[in-house]
């Protein structure tokens, strides 16, 4: 199915790199960026077939799409990925640092590997991807970086010290980097979703999900598309005077 082209596409001619975009929020972000005219790099770690599905959908919209397997924890792998994207697509205008994992456990029971995996993926991975992309954005005269954090990075949560620490780190990283890169024309913001209908949410026991819903004033969980629309806004020219901000999208949970 070929999608009809709209005239007022906000991201026409842009190239976006979205990490962890074979499923969940990343998938929704990749597709939303494409709907607004962007070519998209679909980065994944394990879900090759799912990544290819996303790329096929993007190409059906008339955009260019490539899939790349990469472990964001690996600095050299990330550097090679970015070099490959530049060779294939010529530029990177938008970086969405979305790749993330959870390894929930109380600190008493948490193994060091569970701490390391979450911090290295959710926080060091953001550093690795951003570090690799910045030189190209500087040469282009600007760009947009959107980091996916979480309300858990602001509020904390039982059994999620590693996840909360990683997402709080993303917020600090975002605010500091925005100050460093503003003069280069590179805008850096974060989106902090609440509880979203993804695989991570499905892993939560029903009784806990019921308790969470009782705390959400809007009375429901977010959809991945609702998060992706905020990312698209921050990646577009509509947000050209916004940098260093954290946009909370949680239905009122963190009030």
Active site residues: 163
Q: Residue 240, annotated ligand binder? A: no
Q: Residue 20, annotated ligand binder? A: yes
Q: Residue 14, annotated ligand binder? A: no
**In 10 A of CB 86, how many CB atoms?**
17
Q: Residue 79, annotated ligand binder? A: no
Please state the three-class secondary structure of 185-231 as a single string.
CEEEEEEEECCECCHHHHCCCHHHHHHHHHHCCCCCCECHHHHHHHH
The Cα-based distances of 138 to 55, 80, 179, 187, 196 in angstroms read: 27, 18, 15, 11, 34
Q: Are strands 94-97 and 65-69 parallel, antiparallel or unpaired?
A: unpaired
Q: Residue 228, annotated ligand binder? A: no
CA end-to-end distance (rounded Å), the chain: 42
Q: Residue 108, annotated ligand binder? A: no
Q: Residue 210, annotated ligand binder? A: no
Contact 152, 163 (CB under 8 A): yes
Q: Residue 167, annotated ligand binder? A: yes
Q: Residue 43, annotated ligand binder? A: no
Of 182, 193, 195, 201, residue with least CA distance to 229: 193
**From the annotation, which residues make up the binding site?**
20-23, 98, 163-167
**From the annotation, which residues make up the binding site for NADP(+)?**
20-23, 98, 163-167
């Amino acid at each position: 199915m070929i999608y009809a082209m709209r005239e007022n596409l906000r991201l026409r001619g842009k190239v976006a790199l979205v990490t962890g975009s074979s499923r969940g929020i990343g998938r929704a972000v990749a597709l939303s960026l494409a709907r607004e005219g962007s070519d998209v790099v679909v980065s994944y770690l394990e879900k090759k077939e799912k990544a290819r599905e996303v790329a096929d959908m993007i190409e059906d919209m008339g955009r260019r799409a490539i899939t790349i397997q990469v472990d964001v924890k690996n600095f050299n792998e990330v550097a090679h990925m970015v070099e490959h994207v530049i060779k294939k697509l010529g530029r990177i205008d938008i970086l969405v640092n979305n790749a993330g994992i959870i390894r929930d456990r109380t600190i008493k029971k948490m193994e060091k590997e569970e701490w390391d995996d979450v911090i290295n993926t959710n926080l060091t991975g953001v550093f690795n991807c951003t570090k690799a992309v910045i030189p190209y954005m500087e040469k282009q005269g600007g760009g947009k970086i959107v980091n996916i954090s979480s309300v858990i990075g602001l509020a904390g949560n039982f059994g999620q010290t590693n996840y909360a620490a990683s997402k709080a780190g993303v917020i600090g990283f975002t605010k500091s980097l925005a100050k460093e890169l503003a003069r280069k024309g590179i805008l850096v913001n974060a989106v902090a979703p609440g509880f979203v209908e993804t695989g991570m949410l499905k892993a939560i026991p029903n009784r806990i999900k019921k308790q969470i819903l009782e705390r959400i004033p809007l009375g429901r969980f977010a959809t991945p598309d609702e998060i992706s629309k905020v990312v698209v806004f921050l990646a577009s020219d509509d947000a050209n005077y916004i940098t260093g901000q954290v946009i909370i999208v949680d239905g009122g949970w963190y009030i």
